[in-house]
Structure 1
Amino acid sequence: MYIFKNSKGKIIYIGKAKDLYSRIKSYFQDRSDNFLYAKPLDFAKKIKSIDYIVTDNETEALILEGSLIKKNKPKYNIDLKDDKSYPFIAVTVGEKFPRVFLTRNRNIKGAKYFGPYTDAGAVRKTLEYLRKIFQIRDCKKARPGKSKNMPCLNYHIKLCPAPCTGNVSQEEYGRNIDFTMLFLKGKDRTIIGRLKAKMEQYSKNREFEKAAELKNKIGDINKLHKDQKIFFTAESTWDFISTARDADDAVISLFTYRSGVLAVVNNFIINNIRYFKDDEILSGFIENYYPNINDVPSKIFCPFEIENTELISKWLTEKKGRNIEIRVPKIGEKKKIMEMVVRNSRLYLEKKRFEKSTGISQVYKNFVKLKKVLGLVNIPRRIECFDISNLKDTFPVGSMSVALDG
């Protein structure tokens, strides 16, 4: 993802691309009728700084792009400014016989959510498969049943065990819900393994239609699971922080997850860190940043153990009046998110190094002036200087000096 800002530091455009170099370069090239990303004539002139965020996949980039556009409402964004949100799968675990359904409402009491998902069609299809496999009711209300004291058609075609008539115990139905949630978490590969074993059995028995049906089910479920990292309850809030450093300066990357969605990405510059260790930099940041924040998350994740973890957690808990933990993710989806944050902090440090050596330096400003004076199309990266001298008429001497990037 890339973020354009104007001279006041305000975000004016947010976009995403597989090849950031080519996409960003296209904004500063001559306009053409086929230029897909064309903006007003003065658009490129208003871009004064560029930030970027690296995600693990296109789905994550799309979701983050939508979240940031809704939050910042950039002037030149159109496509994602509407109030639509990406759907989640809700499991109403607070009910006696829980339901599993697709929703955009993330405030259902006692629900656990999976997602968000960008392909609603694939999600609906997979939910149908999950109901067939685990026999989950699809009635709309918290209390089971579509008609009084009578099972619906789904019971007769073996899509529902009819909890509305007492045909299944709460414990047995709960096991089906547990299997469904394991599927959605992507943590129990033995379930898919059983489907594959069944598929192979059908193939050996030359029941190819049934084998193909199971293959399609596995394909849709894998598509649903692909790189979806977030599993959360409605109350879950997370922050992921990481640092990268050089000799004198460090950057802190802060990824803020709220209601299960990556909502905000912030980067901070910290100077004069030559004599500090990495864990001291992170602990110092936490001590200085969070006391001034009202919406402190329930969990703060760091890439490594920091100095005085327990003491800082206790201090924040007392200050905010609720339990706040500082953790290092070891496995699973949180570890994957942490790796993404670490990678972004390193990239942001490289970006600041580049800006420091080019865009902010006096040499760069002089190059810009030279470009204008000489009427050049681009800033000169190689300058060759020649000097010829003669000792009377018999000893001519020539020399050349070359300057690269100043």
Structure 2
Amino acid sequence: MPGTAESDAPKTRAERVLEQRRGLPDSPGVYVFKDAKNKVLYVGKAKSIKKRVGGHFSKSHVRGEADMLEQTDRIEFVATETETEALLSEQEFIRRLRPRFNIRLRDDKSYPFIAISLDEEYPRVYFTREKHRRNRAYFGPFSNAKKVRETLDLLGKVFQYRTCEGKEPGRLSGSPCLEYHINRCQAPCIDVITKEEYRENIDTIIAFLSGRYRQIERELTESMKLAAADQEFEAAAGFRNRLRAVRSLLERQRVANETVGTLDAIAVAAEGTDANAQVFQVRDGVLADRQSFYLENAAAHDESQVLEEFVLQYYASAMAIPPQVIIPRGLTPDPSLAAALSERRGGAVEVRSAERGDKRRILELAERNARLALDQDRLRHEHRRNRLRAVRSLLERQRISNEAVGTLDAIAVAVEDADANAQVFQVRDGVLSDRQSFYLLNEAGREVEDVAEEFILQYYASAMAIPTQLVVQRGVGEESALAEVLAQRRGGPVELRHAERGDKKRILDLAERNARLALDQDRLRNERRRTARIDALEGLQD
């Protein structure tokens, strides 16, 4: 960091931090809390670094922030000219340093985008998790990969773009693919459509993904009328069908009058170290997308701070920022937030609450969804913890007191016809740390031993760690080099054994019972589905 507020190191951590606080400037900038190992704990921004840092240490703290301050051993800063510059710098530091106590998207996964390869003569429209290639248009990020693929499927039906790989369209055979014959592609590979016409189609897709729906309706209507005037009735019918499809989609998703225009309604719900953010994207009065993001809130920030940090992170990767962002009443983000978004957009951005009308109704819907998503997520986590406690309790009741189980994985497989289930009980230092269930296909009708050996090889091909001991069913690995293969992957010996008595035998028996029970339940569900489909078909015949 360019600036550091410190003098001769005092004897205690508290004295060192106090000395550094005294040297902080009374000006805009970014400050960084670090621990004794020089690891970044938190990045913040302020109109006055000195006053903001002092506020951290003077007010009463929730547990998360108290933990952060107890670990803080060093305070660094970067002074900026304006508060807006500090806000943008803060987000760059958060993105690069990934501090634990800042708001973060849970799992830090790469969110999906829709990309358009404008650097190719006949651009492709495709799914991606990267957005670094030049001369390509990206739309997103989206929180749900399934919804992205559904959007691409819809675009293919309505606008018929090419899906073939490579810069040039078509196949080596020179004949069009199935997509052309089912009206999902306009076959630029055999010149059914010209380069200019295909580009116009891509421009329409870009307008659709950008939310310019009224523009699309006007252009399709005009193209239909021009084609009809030129007596190109087949082309006119194509534009008419496309116009109907677009209007039908928009009417189903219309949530407000067109005068509402284009905006994002953003709401957050926070409880303890968990938070959820909802983004409702409204374009020309149509709900273009709804996205849900689960957030890590290790410092237990209030909802105003969660909202501010999320908005900046979200629009740092978003391809477009709307002219208006609606936020809940009572949340007061820093005034520099609108200035920072305006600078990124290259135009004015208004950040405000909605008092009445359609905008208020959309925001209330986002608020309800945020709270519901957070409650459901916390409930799922609680259910997982309860299931794990129940299994641990059962294991404890079956434990033989003086036997040290140690660290191992107990793996059991149940097989019936073409179905199979595998259970993995992970025991660490004598404690059941996790239980995993896997449904398997056994179309070749192999024996339990063969299915178990193939599953074990696949499971530990992706597992982060292989324990020194595997407890398996009798017959598994006896006539194969399974133990040697696992030892080679682990880089150390792996013992493959069959437990005859004691805790290890009881753990394996429990895994076997769970595998059989899971397999029976799965087959029962499948049988009910088949019966329901047969009843439905018979009802149609009647």
Looking at secondary structure, tell me which structure has more helix per residue: 2
Normalising by the residue count of structure 2, what TM-score does the alignment of the two structures yield? 0.30
Q: Name which structure has the greater RCO, CA cutoff 8 Å, separation 6+.
A: 1
